[in-house]
A = this chain, B = another copy of it.
Amino acid sequence: MAISEFFIRYLQRRDELEPADLARLRAIPTTVQHFAPGEEVIPWGPRRQSCMIRRGLAARIHVLKGQNGQNGAQAITALHVPGDFADLHGFVLTGLEHSVVAFGPVEAEFVGHEHLTAITRDLPHLTRLLWMVTAIDAAIHRQWIVAAASLRSTAHLAHLLCELYTRMSIVGAAHEMRMNLPLLQRQLADMLGYSPIHINRAVRDLRDRRLVSWQGTEVEILDWDGLAQLSRFDPTYLQLERHHR
């Protein structure tokens, strides 16, 4: 297979792809695999390939070692939507300190690291764009830290929704204020650092304020401005301006 068009759009939203860049991207041979909800897309540890999400939702999961042989509590540090190069950072690191797990059915695509090494040798501009992808990832991490430190439950959840809708609509994976989020409340809790019960109340709060309609995995944003204002959402950190790198 060839690299997902979602990813091409992700890049083109931020910079102009030179013909050589585009040709090389499309020439990379990849392997596509399907995953059921809960399956591990990428295990913890050293990797020889990196993975791109083509369809569905995936998350980075950090397993917490309990103090006294305890349960396997887990934290979630990132969510990945179609077009995301979920573990591109694994290319330059010794190994991942987390796994990537499918939320809902996922179609993923694997790229061998030898092709990335070749790109760093031949195509400096495309190399900088791939580097940028991991830098945007880090900017999202920072925004999560800011949100965790400054927002309370309802606003915090609202911020996540604003971010996800923005990221999904940019690549064409969401439209008209609707998106499909196969997320359990327990997983939202692992993501935002609350108990599942508290997440439940935050969801109800958003419903009561008529900001969103949320039924199962279908989420519709009823009042974007209200949601953005409540969560102080400012998409600058997603680097949506086109700019030569």
Counted per complex, copies of this chain come to 2
Binary B-proximity of A74-95 (CB < 8 A = 1, otherwise 0): 0101100000000001011110
> Using Cβ atoms and an 8 Å threshold, which residues of chain B touch A75?
145-146, 149-150
Distance of A243 Cα from B93 Cα, bound (Å): 9
> Using Cβ atoms and an 8 Å threshold, which residues of chain B touch A190?
149
Instruction: Check if B92 sits within 8 Å of A128, measured CB to CB.
Output: yes
* A62 interface residue (CB < 8 Å to B): yes
Instruction: Check if A239 sits within 8 Å of B93, measured CB to CB.
Output: yes
Closest to A89 in B: B135
> Using Cβ atoms and an 8 Å threshold, which residues of chain B touch A9?
none
Binary B-proximity of A87-114 (CB < 8 A = 1, otherwise 0): 0010111100110000000000000000
Instruction: Check if A150 sits within 8 Å of B120, measured CB to CB.
Output: no
* A64 interface residue (CB < 8 Å to B): yes
Binary B-proximity of A201-245 (CB < 8 A = 1, otherwise 0): 000000000000000000000000000010010101101010101
Q: How large, as a class, is the contact surface on chain A?
A: 35 or more
Given A77-B145, A78-B142, A134-B135, are A92 and B150 neighbors across the interface (CB < 8 Å)? no
* A35 interface residue (CB < 8 Å to B): no
Instruction: Check if B62 sits within 8 Å of A146, measured CB to CB.
Output: yes
Given A92-B131, A94-B243, A124-B117, are A193 and B137 neighbors across the interface (CB < 8 Å)? no
- Ordered by A's residue number, 19 sampled pairs between the chains whose C-beta atoms are within 8 Å are A14-B94, A62-B146, A67-B229, A75-B146, A89-B138, A92-B131, A93-B135, A93-B139, A94-B243, A97-B142, A97-B236, A117-B128, A120-B128, A124-B127, A141-B141, A141-B142, A148-B148, A149-B191, A149-B192
